Structure 1
Amino acid sequence: MDPRSHLLLKTLIERYIAEGQPVGSRTLSRWSGLDLSAATIRNVMSDLEEAGLIVSPHTSAGRIPTPRGYRLFVDTMLTVQPLESVEQQALNETIQQNLQPASPQKVISAAAQLLSSLSQFAGVVLTPRRSQTFKHVEFLRLGERRVLMIIVTPEGDVQNRMILLEQDLSASQLVEAGNFLNTHFAGSSFDEAASRLKQELGSLRDEVQTLMQAAMAAGSQAMSDDQEQVLISGERRLLDVADFSTNMARLRQLFDVFESKTSLLRLLETGGNAEGVQIFIGGESQLVPVEEVSVVAAPYKVNGQVVGTLGVVGPTRMAYDRVVPLVDITARLLSNALTYSSGEAGAPPPGPTAPA
C-alpha cells in the first residue's frame, strides 16, 4: 500500500470510529490533509475496497472498514493516547481501596468494574484458578457444636465453611486442631491430608478426631466448588451502543456469549498466552463468536507469573487508541496489587504508568 492509500484508510477508519457513519470522499478530503480531487479519492477507495479493507454498506456512497481493515489499522496505524491523569488516578485509587490481603477476589472484581466504567463497554476478567492446596486453617467456635472453618490458600484466597459437630469443643481444643493441621499438612490438598491423617488419628483425642474428619470433608468440598472463572461487569452498557441496539439479533447473540461464557473463557485463555495487549476482532478472529465485536485483552501476573487475563468487550467501532492503554494500565495495577497482597512484595503497589 502506498503512503497515500495508507493515510486515506487511516483517516477513513478514524472518522468512522468517531462518527459512526459511512465516510465519503468529501470527508476524506477535509480530514486527510491531502490535496486530492474527489475523483482521485474515489479511485483510491475503490482500490481499498477491492483489497477487502473497506466496504460500501447498501447504497451509501460512503465506506466503512471491514474486519480486515480494522486489523491492518490496529496493527500498523494505531497511535495510542495516554490516559488522562484523572482516569489514571481513579484506577490506582480504586485498586488500592480494594487491596485486601484476605480478599484478592475483591481486587479482581474491582478491576472488571473499572474497565467497564472507564470504557463504557463491558469489562471481563478471567480469574486465577483456585489452588487445591491450603496454606493455613483456623477454627472458630460460633456456638454449641457449631464451628467456622477458615481456609487460606497459597494465593491468599479465603474460604469459610460451617461444621456441625456431634459434641461441643472448647476454644483451646479448636486452636490445638488448627495448629496440628498447619504444622503437619500445610501445602497439601485436603484429600492428601485426609489420607495421611488416618495414620495420625490415634494420637489425637476422640473429640478432636471427629473435628478433623469433618474438616477434611468440608475442606475438600470447598476446594472443589465451582469457581466463577469469568467475571463480567457492565454488559448492560452495550444496550446503549448504537452498533448493537439497532440489531436485536446481534445483541441477543452477544448476550448469549455473556451467559454461556464458554467462548469468552477460550478467548481470554488465549490472551493469557501472549505478552502485552492483544486485540481480537469479530469477523476476522475465529475466537470472537460475534461479528462487529472486538475484545481488547491483556494478561495479569502474580510474582511475575501469568495467572489470568482481563479486557474490554465492545463494538469493532471502538476508540482503540483509548481502550488499549486502559486495559494495559489496569493489567499492570492488578498485577502489582495481587503480588503485594500475596505477601511477596515489600512495598505497596506503585501508581500507573502510561504504556510505551
Structure 2
Amino acid sequence: MTMNTPSISADLAGSLDERSREIFRALVESYMESGDPLGSRSLSRMLPMSLSPASIRNVMSDLEDLGLIYAPHVSAGRLPTQKGLRFFVDAFMQVGDLQPDMRETIERQVHAEDSSRPVETLLTEASQMLSGMTRGAGLVIAAKQDATIRHIEFIRLDPKRALVVLVGGNDQVENRVMELPDGVTAGQLTEAANFLNAHLAGRTLSEVRGELEGITEEVRRELDVLSRDLVERGLAVWAGTREGAGSARLIVRGRGNLLEGLSAGEELDRLKLLFDELERKESLIELMTLAEEGSGVRIFIGSENKLFSLSGSSLIVAPWRDGEDKVVGAVGIIGPTRLNYARIVPMVDYTAQLVSRLVRK
C-alpha cells in the first residue's frame, strides 16, 4: 500500500527515549479511543512499565515542550496536538493489508457482483459503506461526466425563484434554484422549458456549447425578452457557468455521524463550518487536486488540508482511476482528528481499488 502524508522532521523521533515514546503512544491511543484528556494516574495504569505519576508528569512536561501534547484546561489531563498526531501517524502507526473477511464485507456492501448498475449508484454505495464502517462521513468525488440532456423543467418556488429540474440520459436528476427575472408568467416558464427541451434533448453539454451561438440566435428570433432571458439562464444552469460550478460532483454520506458525542458550543460551530465547506463548489476542485497529487492514500490532519482547516477535521483520501489509468475521482473519510487512522487507511485504499476495478467493467 502506498501512502502519501505530509511529514514532520525525523529528528523528533530521535529525541524521545523509550519511556517517552511509550507514554506518548498510550496517550494518543487513548485519545483516539475516547477523545478525552488523559492524566498521569490513568497513564500509570496503562503503561507496560512501572512508573510513578510524578515521573509520568515530568515526561508529559517534556512532551508538552516539544509541542506534541497540551492541556486543554488547567489541572486537566493531556491531549495530543495536531503536530503530535502527525508525529504519531508518521513514526508509530503500522498499517497492514486488509483482511479477507473485511474485503468481502466491503464488496458485499457495494454489490460488487452486480456490474449492471449505474456508476452513480456504485459511488453512492461506496460512500455509504465507508460511513457505516468508520463512523465518519464517507466521501466520494467523481469527475463530471458529459451526460446527455434528457429533459429540463422549470418549477416556480416563489415570484423571484424557480427550481430547475435537470434530467440526464442516465436518469440522473439534478435540482438547482434559479433567480427569475421580474414579471415572468407561468406560460413563459413553460415556453422556455419547451424551447430548451426541443433544442437540447439528446445532446451532450459539449455539443450544446459548440452550438450555443446558433441556439442563442434562434432564441432571439422565436421568443420574447423574458422567455429569452429564461432560456439563457436555463442554459447557464445546465452548463454550470452561472454559479462557477467545478468539473466534479461530490457524494457525502453519514454527516450525522460527525454529530455523535459532540456537546453544544464550539465543537458544533466547527462542525457547521465543515458542512458549509462541503457545500462550496470550490471544494470539489480542491478535493480532485488532492486526489491527483498522490498515487496512494493521503492523510491530512486539521489545518494540513486548507479545505477543512477551519473545522479542524481530518481527511483520509485515495484516488480511483478509469480504464486508461487516469485519476477521475477519489474516495475517503472525513472525521474528527481522533480517527483510527491505522484501521481506516487500508479500508479507504481497498475501496478506491475496488471502485477503479468496477468502473472499468
| TM-score, L = length of structure 2 | 0.66
Distance 2:172 2:283 in 1: 28
Q: Does 1:56 align with 2:71?
A: yes
Q: Give the aligned residue type for 1:93.
A: R
What does 1:273-288 align with in structure 2 at a 5 Å threshold? Answer: 273-288=293-308
Per the alignment, residue 314 of structure 1 pairs with 335
Q: Give the aligned residue type for 2:16.
A: D
Q: Give the aligned residue type for 2:330.
A: T
Report if aligned partners of 1:268, 1:310 keep a CA contact under 8 Å in 2.
Answer: no
Distance 1:52 1:68 in 2: 7
Return 5+ residue gaps in structure 1 as ranges: 139-149, 166-177, 196-219, 341-356
Q: Deviations over 1:117-142 (max 9, x none)?
A: 1111111111123248x8xx99xxxx
**Cα distance, 1:284 vs. partner?**
4.1
Name the CA shift for 1:19/1:257 in 2 (closer, same or farther; >3 Å).
Answer: same
1:237 aligned to which of 236, 254, 257: 257
1:25 aligned to which of 19, 40, 47: 40
Name the CA shift for 1:151/1:119 in 2 (closer, same or farther; >3 Å).
Answer: closer
Name the CA shift for 1:306/1:43 in 2 (closer, same or farther; >3 Å).
Answer: same
Distance 2:115 2:168 in 1: 16
Distance 1:222 1:78 in 2: 46
1:40 aligned to which of 35, 55, 75: 55
1:90 aligned to which of 101, 105, 114: 105
Q: Deviations over 1:97-116 (max 9, x none)?
A: 58445621111111111111
- Mark the structure with the bigger radius of gyration: 1
| TM-score, L = length of structure 1 | 0.67
Per the alignment, residue 201 of structure 1 pairs with none
Report if aligned partners of 2:274, 2:308 keep a CA contact under 8 Å in 1.
Answer: no
Q: Deviations over 1:256-281 (max 9, x none)?
A: 22333534641442133101111111
Give the 3-state SS of the residue equivalent to 1:272 in structure 2: helix
Q: Give the aligned residue type for 1:128.
A: A
Q: Does 1:116 align with 2:131?
A: yes
Name the CA shift for 1:57/1:164 in 2 (closer, same or farther; >3 Å).
Answer: closer
CA RMSD across the alignment: 4.0
Q: Give the aligned residue type for 1:314.
A: G
Q: Does 1:12 align with 2:31?
A: no
Return 5+ residue gaps in structure 2 as ranges: 1-14, 151-166, 174-192, 196-201, 214-234
1:2 aligned to which of 12, 16, 29: 16
Q: Does 1:298 align with 2:318?
A: yes
Q: Give the aligned residue type for 2:318.
A: A
Report if aligned partners of 1:283, 1:292 keep a CA contact under 8 Å in 2.
Answer: yes
Return 278-287 or 308-317, whichever deviates more: 278-287
- Work out the percentage of aligned pairs sharing the same amino acid: 34
What does 1:1-356 align with in structure 2 at a 5 Å threshold? Answer: 1-4=15-18, 5-80=20-95, 83=98, 85-96=100-111, 99-101=114-116, 103-131=118-146, 189=207, 224=239, 229-242=249-262, 247-260=267-280, 262-263=282-283, 265-303=285-323, 304-340=325-361
**Cα distance, 1:285 vs. partner?**
3.7
Give the 3-state SS of the residue equivalent to 1:28 in structure 2: helix
**Cα distance, 1:68 vs. partner?**
0.6
Return 100-109 or 118-127, whichever deviates more: 100-109
How many aligned positions are there? 287
Report if aligned partners of 2:291, 2:327 keep a CA contact under 8 Å in 1.
Answer: no
Name the CA shift for 1:194/1:2 in 2 (closer, same or farther; >3 Å).
Answer: closer
Name the CA shift for 1:98/1:193 in 2 (closer, same or farther; >3 Å).
Answer: farther
Report if aligned partners of 1:121, 1:237 keep a CA contact under 8 Å in 2.
Answer: yes
Distance 1:10 1:264 in 2: 35
Name the CA shift for 1:272/1:261 in 2 (closer, same or farther; >3 Å).
Answer: same
Report if aligned partners of 2:277, 2:308 keep a CA contact under 8 Å in 1.
Answer: no
Name the CA shift for 1:64/1:287 in 2 (closer, same or farther; >3 Å).
Answer: same
